[in-house]
Structure 1
Amino acid sequence: MNIQALQEGFRFASSSGFEEDAGPLGLANVEADERILISGNHAAAIGFLAAGIRFFAGYPITPATEILEMMNRHIGSFGGVSIQAEDELAAVNLALGASLTGVRSLVATSGPGISLMQEGIGHAGAAEIPLVIIDAQRAGPSTGMPTKSEQSDIGMIVHGSTGDFPRIVLAPGNPSDAFELAVEAANLAQRIQGPVYLMLDQSVSQDSATTAPFDLSRVVIDEGARLTQEQLDALDEYHRYAVTPTGLSPLAVPGMPGGMSLVTGNEHDEWGKVSTNPSNRVAMMDKRARKVETVKDSLPSGLRFGHETSPIGIIGIGMESGVIREAVERLSVAGILLAGLQPRTIWPVPTDTLEFIASKEHVYVVEHNHEAQLVQVLASVGAPIDRLTSIHRYDGVAFTPHDLVTAIASQETP
C-alpha cells in the first residue's frame, strides 16, 4: 500500500507539471549507505544467535517480550531450542540445566523477573555455570510502569542475590551496541564460567533506529577454558573447581569420559563436594573473584565524544547515550565545552571510566532512577563523590537535549 501511495504521488506530480527538477523543492542526489531499521531487542537477539546461543528460556514481560518472540521464531533454524516457561523461576533453572550440558544459554526478562531469578543467578555464580541474562529495565518497583523507561535495576544487577560472586554487566546504548555487546556477553559467560548481564532499558529495547548492517564475519566464538576430550584425557585427575592463578578452572561437559564432577549451590571443594572448611571457603571465594580480574582489561571500553580536554565531563548509559551527545553539541555552540563518556561495561567498573572521572574537575552523571544508582556504583569503587553531579529523573519521561542543556547551562554559566 505504501508503494502504491508513492506511485500515485508520482503520477499526480507529473499530471500537475512537476517534472524532474521542476518542483518547488530541490533535492540533491546523494549516495545512500546501506542501512537497516531495527530495535535493540531484535539486534541483541541477532547478536546472540550469531554468537552461538542455542538455548533460550523466557516468560512474556514488557519490554523484553520481543526477544522471546524472536527466539521462538528463529532459534530452531540454527538447531537451537526456545521455551516459553511457566514463570521466570522455571526459565532461569531451565537455562542452567541447558548450560550444564555445554549449550550456550540465555534468559531475558525485566526487573520483576530479575527479582524472581536471583537465586538461580546466584547458583550460576556459585556453581560456575555460564549464563547470559538480559534485563530490559522498566519503571519499578514491583509492577511499576511497564511501558515506561527507567534505569533503576542497576543496584540489583550489580549486587543482587545472596553472598558475593563475580558477574559482568554490559550496557548498550543503541541497536548497534546491542548486537556487539550481545556477542561479547555470550563469550564472556564462557570465559568467566558465570553470569553476564546485558542491561537494556525500555527505550533501547523497543525503540527502532537505523544502523549499518551487522558484520557477521567479525563474530568470534570464544569457548574459554572448555576442555576437549583429548585435553581431558591428558589430565591425571579432573578437578572441576581446581584453584588456579587466573581463577578459571577446566570445564568438561557432563558425560565426557573422565569428566565426572558434582554440581551444587553449596560451598564445595575442587571436586564439587560440599565443604564448610574455612580455608577451602576462602580459597574458593578468592578463586571465583579472580575470574573477573583475569578478563577485566578486555571488557568493552566506553565511547568518548565531545571535547576531550574539557575539565567538565558528562556520563550516561543506555537510553541517555544519544541525548547526552546532542546536548554536548548544543552546549558547545553556546560556548560550554564538555567531554563525554558512554560506559558500556558497568560492572566491574572499568579503569577507563575511573580515569575519565579523575581527569575532570566535575562530571555530570545522567540517569533514570530516584537514588542516583549509577553515581553510587561509581563512588563505591573510588570515584570521588565530590566530583559527581547527578542529573536524574524518575517520572517515566525521557530527557530531551533541551532538558540537559538547560540543567547544565544553569550550573556552568556565571
Structure 2
Amino acid sequence: MRKPARPRVVAAVAGTAVISLALAACSSEEDDGTVVIEYGWWGSAESDEATFAAIEAFEAANPGITVEGEATPWDGYWDKLATMSAGGDAPDVIHMSERYIREYGERDALADIRGLDGIDLDSLDEAVVSLGESDGALYAVPAGVNTFTVAVNADLFAEAGVEVPDDRTWTWEDYYEASAATSSGEVTGVNYRAGVENLRPWLHQHGETMYNEEGTGVGFSREVLVSYLENILTQRQNGGPTADQVSEEMGLPLEATLFGTGSQSMTWFYSSELGPFAAAAGEDVRLMRVPSQTGEPTDSGMYLRGSSFYSVSAYADEEEQEAAAQFIDFMINDADALAEIGMLRGVPPNTELVEEISGDLDEVDQQVLEFVTELRPDLAVDSPPPSPPGSGNVQGIFDREVLEMLYDRTTPDEAADRIIEAIDNELA
C-alpha cells in the first residue's frame, strides 16, 4: 500500500482511534517537471488500501504525475472539504457525494468536466453520466453505480427454518413475516435504517419524490410520510430492533453492528457494501430487492444511483486540472484500476470494461454485478437528479425524529410534521 505523503492525524471518534489523513494544501510541480496533484476521499480501511494500490498503478503508467492520496472518515470529510474550498485550496481531485454535487457546483468550486481534456466518457451510459449533471454542467463523474437494497443473512434464515423469500415478488407483508420469523432472543429481525435512501423507494411506490422540482422543499405528501413512519413501527413490532439498539448502533463501524456481528437477519445497505458487510458477518449474505406494495418486480421503486463521484477542483490551475482529468480517466476506464477497486465503489460505469473482466471477479463482486445487471430491466423509476443544496443535513433530521418516535415520545403524525418542517427550513 502506498504511504501517504502527509503526516497522519489521529482522532478519537466514539472512543475508537481512527486514522485520518489530513487534506493538504494546494498542488505543485516538482523540480523535475513532475506534476503533483492531490486526491481526497472518504472510505473504509479496505477501500483506502485499494485506492492507494490504484494510485500506484496510475503513477506507474503516468510517470509525469504524482498523486498524493489522502483519506478522511466520512463524518470529518465534509467539514474539512468545506473549510478548504472556502480558502480556495481544495484537493485537485475531490471524491464527491450525490448530496453535495449541486452545493459545490453552484458555488463554482467544481470544474465542468466536459470542459476538460483527458476524460473519455464515450464508453459510459449517458444516463449514468447525467447523474453528475446540474444546470447543464457536468460537475462529477460517477465512480460506480449501486442501489439501496435489503440484505439477508441466509445462514440465520436457515437456522430459523425460514426460506429466503423470492425478492422479485415479495411484498411488505412478506418482509414483516420474514423479520418476525427469523427473530429470537439472540437475533433481531430487520434493521430498518430509516432515512433518505429507505424512504425514496416507499415514495416512488406511491408516485411521489423526495424533493420538489425547484429543490426548495419536500416533494412528498404528509400522508405518505406518515404511512412510511407507521411502516417503521410495524417493522419494530415484527422482530426489529428496540429504540436502545437503534441508538447504540448510530455511528458504529459496520463490523460492530448487529448485522455485522451475525445477530440480525436482515438489514438495508448499498449494493456496493456487500463485501465489507459479508466479511464482517462471516455469513452467507445475499442482496434482495426492496419489497413492493403489489408483488410485481417493476413496482419496487428502486433506482440506480451514483455510489460516489470524481470531481475536479475549480481552484486547480490548468496543468493540475489536466493531470486530474487523466487520473479520473484512469480510475473509470482502465482495467488496472478496476482490478484494484473491484465493486467497492459500485459497478464501474464503463460497461465494456466490466464485461471484459467479469470472469475474474471474486464471488462477492460477482453477486453485486449480477444483482445490479438483473435489476436494470425492472427499474421503472428514473434516477433522481443531484440533491438540492442544504440536503446534506436531511439524514440527520430523520435519525433524530425517527429515534424520538421509536422511544414513543412522538407519534408518526407528530414526527411527520417535524420532519417536513425541518427539511423545508434546510432547503429554503
Range into which the TM-score falls when normalised by the shorter chain: under 0.3
TM-score (norm 1): 0.25
Bigger RCO (CA 8 Å, 6+ sep):
2
Structure showing greater Rg: 1
TM-score (norm 2): 0.24
